[in-house]
Amino acid sequence: MKVVRLIIENFRGIKSAQLNFDGHALMVGSNNVGKSTICEALDLVLGPDRLNRFPPIDEFDFYNGKYLVADTDPAAPPQPIPLRIEAVVIELSADVSTKCGGHIEFWHTTEQRLLEPGEVEAANPPLVLPCLRLETVGRYNPEEDEFEAKTYFSHSPDALDGELSTLPRPIKRLFGFLYLRTLRTGSRALSLERGSLLDIILRAKGVRTTLWEKTISRLRGLDIEEEAAELVPVLRSVEKRLARYIALEGNGNATKVHVSELTREHLRKTMTFFLALSSDQEHVPFAHAGTGTINTLVLALLSVIADLKPDTVIFAMEEPEIAVPPHTQRRIANYLLTKTTQAFVTSHSPFVIEKFEPSKTLLLTREHGVVSARKVSDATGLKDNDYKRFSRSGLSECMLGRASIVVEGVTELHAMPVVARRMEEQNPNLQPLDIAGVAFFDADGESNMPKFGKFFKTLGLRTFAFYDLDYKKKRKPEQAQALAENFEINKEHAYKGFEDLVVTEVPAERLWAFLGNLKANDDNGNLAIPDERPDDDAVKMIARGALGGAKGAGWCARLFEECEFDELPSTAVKFLAEVFAKFPPPPPIIENEGGQANMFE
């Protein structure tokens, strides 16, 4: 089963949204764009347990917290504003098709729309598939002073006019929807609370355990007082005082101590999964394990669920990278892509993002409460091969930021961040570029820079370019125009290569000291460095050969680390100063006389 369309109205930070999905979906976008809200919306309309909470929704589940609107008649009471979430689901399982046959409609996969009643003859596979349209409606009930929410079949031909048929909870369970919230999943994944992963596994297996009856019986027979005789005088004293006000007519002692409330629900909350993490350690509650271990345990449970329901597992998962190393992040992403029928993922990790094809990566944008989504492949025009090739080498990191500095090669990629950091150390009033969300990206050649500038610009990032002089005059007019159009700061420096810039603008004395350090540390390899200092031109020539012949070694960056600040190349410093100016620091915090903090522009 797969979700192909989701409509959201008046829910949390989303005033309205209509999103189309084609299988797995990685959702990326700035903070507060609505990624988590989309996951919560899916849980409301597809999840079997969310609506069992009391209340199922609250004031802040409505857009801007507004759930009432004044009537046009001033004397009339305010009218409720409903929230509504609609999902269209295709590839229905046999069970769902059988039990929901009267509510089935048809979805045109290429036109991404429902067929109208008069188009029944067009309902032919594979372009047109049976579907279910489900909607959750939530509103405030003034009479009961409560918030209510229910899920319905949007197509309810047997219901009374103006009404919809309720979607039964057992049918919802057949959808196999799981929502794994950031940070909140591990703490109860291995508990027996309703809706926990362990509880879902037991239900999926159809286990009807006698655990509760047997455990309650044993706990009831456990005599705490026998093991803690010091409690007895206290309890009997309490009984005597109670007897002054209440007739205690039961047989035996009127007070007794138990280890729980002896109810199923209380046991669900108190029973805890223990595990031993090493041979020299006793079993401990799983919540006391490291966060990475807990999340890995969650992954193990997910694999059990996927094996139980291979055709009906839909996951919504927030930031699977939390507290797990990169290789585990990749495993989780790969698991979601290969072992589930559909996965909705939000992430800020390059190791997760690189696993998703650009056609499966949705860029979310939000304007005045209206959220829209575009496939990265459609929005930017970047080819899949380029996306895959560069995703691990900086593309994903830039996508998650606010701006990208696109450079021509690996030398600049290593060296320019050093200049930026030295500038930040020199001037504490500068906002560090990494805090500002600015990342460096190596386009691997000037010819690639326009397409990556367009890619980042289309994603809503600010773009800055730094590249070599076209001294051979090979740059075509359309290339120059593309550079100008796609970069806010479009810096063509005055040198035919970055190494020429460095040896020209860094003092010869510093270059010689750098070469001397290479030789002293035996890092120069086959590079011949004389014992005696030659003239400045010879020093520059040797340094040029050293820097140009070891681009991947990061020697330019190493040289910049050794420079005094005023020895750094001025062209690079001036370019980065323009970038820093685009991201001024936040206003300073100044405490007033009362000790309270005020911010001044």
Which pLDDT score, from 0 to 100, does residue 599 have?
46
For residue 28, pLDDT over 80 is answered with yes
- The answer to whether residue 271 sits within a structural domain is no
Confidence of residue 323 (pLDDT cuts 50, 70, 90): low
Q: Are residues 500 and 354 in the same domain?
A: no
Q: Band of the pLDDT at 539, cuts 50, 70, 90?
A: very high
Residues 366 and 431 in one domain: no
pLDDT at 16 over 60: yes
Say whether pLDDT at 298 is over 60.
Answer: yes
| Same domain, yes or no: 375 and 434 | no
Identify whether 473 is part of a domain.
Answer: yes
Q: Is the pLDDT of residue 31 over 80?
A: no
Instruction: Judge whether residue 593 has pLDDT over 70.
Output: no
Q: Is the peptide bond before 55 cis (omega within 30 degrees of 0)?
A: yes
Whole-number Å distance between alpha carbons of 339 and 321: 18
The strand ranges marked E within 399-459 are 403-407, 438-442
What φ, ψ does residue 547 adopt, rounded to 5°?
Answer: -70, -40
Whole-number Å distance between alpha carbons of 188 and 269: 9
Q: Is residue 388 assigned to a domain?
A: no
DSSP string, 354-408: TTS-GGGEEEEEEETTEEEEEEHHHHH---HHHHHHHIIIIIHHHHTSSEEEEES
Tokens of 596: 């309270």
**Is residue 312 domain-shared with residue 461, that is, in the same domain?**
no
User: So what's the pLDDT on residue 291?
Assistant: 65
Residues 359 and 453 in one domain: no
Same domain assignment for residues 355 and 498: no
The domain in which residue 439 lies consists of: 401-601
- Cα-Cα end-to-end distance for the chain: 53
Query: Cα 10–11–13 angle (5° rounding)?
Result: 100
Judge whether 284 lies within some domain.
no
Residue 195, pLDDT > 80, answer no
pLDDT, one tens digit per residue, over 220-271 is 888 887 777 788 888 888 878 777 777 766 666 777 788 888 888 888 878 8
Indicate which CATH number applies to the domain containing 297: 3.40.50.300
Q: Is residue 461 part of a domain?
A: yes
Q: What CA–CA distance (Å, rounded) separates 545 from 528? A: 10
Q: Name the more confident of 274 and 583.
A: 583
CB within 8 Å of 57: residues ≥ 6 apart: 44, 83, 138, 147, 148, 149
The rounded distance, in Å, linking the Cα atoms of 506 and 485 is: 32
380, 415, 439 - which closes a domain: 380
Lowest-pLDDT choice from 69-73, 79-83, 391-395, 419-423? 391-395
Residue 117's H or E segment, with its range, is none
Does the pLDDT of residue 507 top 80, yes or no?
yes
| 198 occurs within a structural domain | no
Residue with tokens 């039961």: 250
**Alpha helix stretches (DSSP H) within 47-108:** 94-99
What pLDDT is attached to residue 251?
66
Check the CA dihedral 279-283-284-289 and report its sign. positive
Tokens 């072992």 locate to 339
| 416 shares its domain with 561 | yes
Kindly report each contact of residues 553-559 with a partner whose C-beta sits within 8 Å and lies 24 or more positions away, as own/partner.
554/414, 554/415, 555/518, 556/411, 556/412, 556/414, 556/415, 556/498, 556/499, 556/502, 557/414, 557/415, 557/417, 557/418, 558/514, 559/415, 559/502, 559/506, 559/510, 559/511, 559/514
Q: Establish if 394 belongs to a structural domain.
A: no
Decide the pairing of beta strands 113-114 and 105-108: antiparallel
Same domain assignment for residues 320 and 349: yes
Residues 409 and 352 in one domain: no
Of 21-30, 116-125, 417-426, 443-452, the poorest mean pLDDT is in 116-125
Q: Kindly tell me if the per-residue pLDDT of 184 is higher than 50.
A: no
- Summarised one tens digit per residue, pLDDT across range 34-43 is 999 999 999 9
Percent over 70 (pLDDT), the chain: 90
Under the banding of pLDDT at 50, 70 and 90, the label for residue 2 is very high
The 3-state DSSP class for residue 140 equals strand
> Does residue 492 fall inside a structural domain?
yes
Residue 425 and residue 563 share a domain? yes
Alpha-carbon span 317 to 182, nearest angstrom: 8
Residue 274, pLDDT score: 83
pLDDT category at 597 given cuts 50, 70, 90 is low
CA dist 149 and 133 (Å) reads: 17
Q: Is the pLDDT of residue 595 over 60?
A: no
Instruction: Quote the number of domains for the chain.
Output: 2
Instruction: Report the alpha-carbon distance of residue 404 to residue 374 in Å, rounded.
Output: 20
How many Å apart are CA 436 and CA 443, to the nearest integer? 21
Q: Positive or negative CA dihedral for 187, 192, 194, 198? A: positive
The Cα angle at residue 227 between residues 224 and 232, in degrees rounded to 5 = 70
Query: Do 50 and 176 sit in the same domain of this protein?
Result: yes
Q: How far apart are CA 20 and CA 512, in angstroms?
A: 61
Same domain, 63 and 173: yes
Overall average pLDDT of the 63-78 stretch: 85
Of 346, 380, 414, the residue that ends a domain is 380
Q: Which of 322, 274, 49, 287 is nearest to 176 (CA)?
A: 49
Q: Rounded to whole angstroms, how far apart are CA atoms 134 and 165?
A: 10
Q: Which residues contact 475 (CB under 8 A, 6 or more apart)?
A: 446
Mean pLDDT of the chain: 85
Taking 70 as the threshold, does the pLDDT of residue 19 lie above it?
yes
Tens of pLDDT, residue by residue over 413-438, are: 999 999 999 999 999 999 999 999 99
Amino acid at 415: A
